[in-house]
Amino acid sequence: MAYDNDNIFAKILRGEIPSEKLYEDDETYVFMDIMPRAEGHCLIIPKTPCRNMLDASDDQLTACLRTTRLMGHAVMKAFGAGGVTVQQFNEGVGGQEVFHLHYHVLPRHEGVSLRPPGKMEDMAVLKANADKIRAALAGM
């Protein structure tokens, strides 16, 4: 399957759609998931195009995983979480909805289940949670 330059995350990377940015480096970009399944749910994407893990280069995977680890530490610190769930889906049958490689980072607390998917977060709440993560990153 070919990469679609007009997928939502490509538009976010080009600044055509707003996003609550948390972090970026030369190879990766991190922002809040607009329909979080846990408080602090964020997404790590490569700045260069690929649909998912199956067509990603070694460099894209390495860069994304490095940033995913960083964000795991950041969200644990920001929310006092006891652990982190990382999710990554490949193609529609594999659960993927947006076809630009992305890793979900979800801070977890004992006894708290993930929320069901598909519920848009209040933008003020999203920003407040983003502020907590940015503050945690600044202190790392």
- Residues annotated catalytic, as ranges: 102
- Judged by beta carbon, residue 110 or residue 131, the one nearer ligand 5GP is 131
Query: How far is residue 61 from each of residues 16, 64, 113, measured CA to CA in Å?
Result: 25, 5, 28
Site for ligand 5GP in 98-117 (CB under 6 A): 98, 102
Q: Is 39 in the site for ligand 5GP (CB under 6 A)?
A: no
CB 103 within 8 A of CB 64: yes
73, 77, 85, 89: which one contacts ligand 5GP (CB under 6 A)? 89
> Which CA distances in Å does 102 have to 6, 20, 64, 80?
16, 15, 8, 24
Q: Which positions lie near ligand 5GP, rule CB under 6 A?
A: 8, 17, 19, 31-35, 89, 95-98, 102
